[in-house]
């Protein structure tokens, strides 16, 4: 600020850009009181005030969410002072880089105290607190401030002199009000959009389940069935599968008994699955069991996982792949990095999955 009391608009630092007509660059120290203290004698020691630790400031929303109430006498010394409408800006790493900043609102008796790791900016006449706050919250401002930090590793801080000298673009007061309102409106739209996006994953999950349910009720292929009425019904397919299964069993049994197997199955076994208590299916469909349609090869249907047969310490980086419940997620298979030695594989051979194609699922009851 010049001797005449006017804001100096001459270039004083790098990083400026051209401002709209009527705006001016101003050092923050010219438009804000930096780290003011409460006036002596205004508050009695037993006066309750708000107390704000660093953890009480949300780095995403900029809200003070977990302040407490303390007698002023307990926090008068050794803590930062601030009042209603002051801007709090974290000065220590990594809180500053993470965006810890807030406008002090709703303070008990209009006064507060808090951690000394806050810089406090009290806007003077003609500048809005929210305008200053929004400017400080920019990543570009925080990056520039981080480059000027001083101190030891893990204890780097933004100096008070830097906060006084760093410039901000000062708009006329009515335009500041419009800018703050615009930012608040756009940020509210952003929050609304984010909340809507957060609802999408569970909606997609429900949609996928609805599609699968509709598919296996025949709802997705109703038009196709009308256009293809002569397709072989599933009951005929099951009869052929049953005959083939019985043929395999009779041939195996005849060879074991040292006799010639019959040319045709002598017993086709029971009819279709009793579906009297099952939902009605479209014409041409039939109920059956997984066991019936699974391969007749050994261990075509089996349960896992290994339970206490294996421990994490027994896995290795190379060898035979070990599959756990976390290898299957949302219908996708990930091979992972857990492997077994050949010796360990023999110990748990009964759980072998075998060659693809295979279907993996998890049932928890």
Same domain, 254 and 266: yes
Q: What is the mean pLDDT of residues 73-88?
A: 96
Q: What are the distances in angstroms from CA 232 to CA 235, 240, 241, 283?
A: 8, 12, 14, 11
| Domain stops at, among 254, 275, 294 | 294
Q: What is the pLDDT of residue 309?
A: 60
Q: What is the pLDDT of residue 7?
A: 45
Average pLDDT of the residues of the chain: 82
Domain count, the chain: 4
Instruction: Return the residue matching tokens 């780290």.
Output: 35
Same domain, 29 and 148: yes
Same domain, 244 and 210: no
pLDDT at 361 over 80: no
* CB-CB contact of 87 with 120 (8 Å): yes
Would you say residue 130 lies in a domain? yes
Would you say residue 204 lies in a domain? yes
98: tokens are 């993470």
Residues of the chain above pLDDT 90, percent: 41
Check: pTM over 0.75? Answer yes or no: no
Q: What is the mean pLDDT of residues 10-38?
A: 85
Residues of the chain above pLDDT 70, percent: 77
Would you say residue 55 lies in a domain? yes
Same domain, 154 and 41: yes
Q: What is the pLDDT of residue 67?
A: 86
Would you say residue 342 lies in a domain? yes
The string of pLDDT tens digits covering residues 186-209 is 988 988 888 888 888 888 888 888
Would you say residue 185 lies in a domain? yes
Kindly give, in sequence order, each residue whose CB lies less than 8 Å from that of residue 118, ignoring residues fewer than 6 positions away. Answer: 52, 54, 80, 82, 88, 89, 90, 91
The string of pLDDT tens digits covering residues 245-269 is 777 777 778 888 888 776 655 554 4
Tell me how far apart the alpha carbons of residues 174 and 185 are, in angstroms, rounded to a whole number. 17
Tell me how far apart the alpha carbons of residues 172 and 245 are, in angstroms, rounded to a whole number. 87
CATH code where residue 73 lies = 3.90.220.20
Same domain, 286 and 313: no
Query: For the stretch 148-176, what's the b/e string if a residue is b when 16 or more beta carbons lie within 10 angstroms of its beta carbon?
Result: ebeeeeeebbbeeebbbebbbebbeeeeb
Would you say residue 289 lies in a domain? yes
Note the helical H segments in the chain.
28-31, 72-75, 95-98, 129-136, 139-147, 160-165, 173-215, 222-227, 234-257, 290-293, 342-347
Structural domain boundaries enclosing 199 = 173-218
Same domain, 80 and 139: yes
Instruction: Return the residue matching tokens 């920019």.
Output: 138
Q: Sorting pLDDT into bands at 50, 70 and 90, what band is 298? A: low
Same domain, 72 and 28: yes
* CB-CB contact of 95 with 133 (8 Å): no
Same domain, 60 and 145: yes
Tell me how far apart the alpha carbons of residues 262 and 312 are, in angstroms, rounded to a whole number. 52
Same domain, 306 and 245: no
pLDDT at 127 over 80: yes
Same domain, 128 and 242: no
The β-bridge relationship of strands 111-114 and 48-52 is parallel
Same domain, 308 and 253: no
Would you say residue 1 lies in a domain? no
More confident residue, 69 or 322: 69
Would you say residue 7 lies in a domain? no
Same domain, 84 and 104: yes
């Amino acid at each position: 600020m010049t001797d005449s009391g006017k804001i100096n608009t001459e270039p004083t630092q790098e990083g400026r850009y051209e401002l709209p007509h009527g705006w001016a660059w101003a050092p923050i120290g010219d438009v804000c009181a930096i780290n003011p203290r409460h006036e002596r004698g205004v508050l009695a020691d037993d006066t309750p005030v708000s107390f704000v630790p660093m953890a009480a400031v949300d780095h995403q929303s900029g809200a003070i969410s977990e302040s407490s109430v303390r007698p002023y006498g307990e926090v008068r010394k050794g803590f930062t002072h601030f009042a209603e409408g002051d801007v709090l800006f974290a000065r220590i790493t990594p809180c500053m880089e993470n965006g810890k900043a807030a406008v002090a609102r709703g303070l008990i008796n209009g006064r507060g105290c808090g951690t000394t790791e806050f810089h406090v900016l009290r806007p003077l006449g003609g500048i809005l607190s929210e305008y200053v706050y929004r400017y400080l919250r920019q990543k570009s401002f925080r990056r520039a401030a981080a480059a000027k930090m001083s101190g030891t590793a893990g204890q780097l801080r933004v100096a008070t002199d830097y906060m006084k000298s760093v410039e901000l673009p000062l708009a006329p007061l009515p335009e500041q009000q419009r800018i703050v309102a615009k930012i608040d409106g756009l940020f509210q739209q952003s929050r609304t959009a984010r909340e809507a996006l957060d609802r999408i994953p569970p909606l997609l999950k429900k949609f996928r389940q609805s599609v699968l349910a509709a598919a296996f009720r025949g709802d997705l292929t109703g038009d196709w069935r009308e256009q293809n009425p002569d397709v072989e019904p599933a009951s005929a397919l099951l009869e052929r599968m049953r005959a083939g299964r019985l043929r395999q069993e009779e041939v195996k049994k005849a060879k074991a008994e040292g006799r010639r197997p019959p040319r045709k199955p002598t017993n086709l076994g029971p009819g279709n699955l009793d579906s009297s208590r099952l939902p009605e299916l479209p014409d041409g469909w039939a109920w059956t069991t997984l066991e019936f349609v699974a391969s007749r090869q050994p261990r075509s249907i089996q349960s896992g996982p290994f339970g206490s047969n294996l421990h994490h310490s027994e896995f290795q980086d190379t060898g035979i792949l070990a599959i756990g419940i976390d290898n299957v997620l949302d219908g996708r298979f990930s091979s992972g990095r857990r492997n077994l030695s050949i010796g360990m594989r023999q110990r748990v051979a009964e759980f072998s999955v075998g060659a693809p194609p295979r279907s993996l699922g998890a049932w928890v009851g």
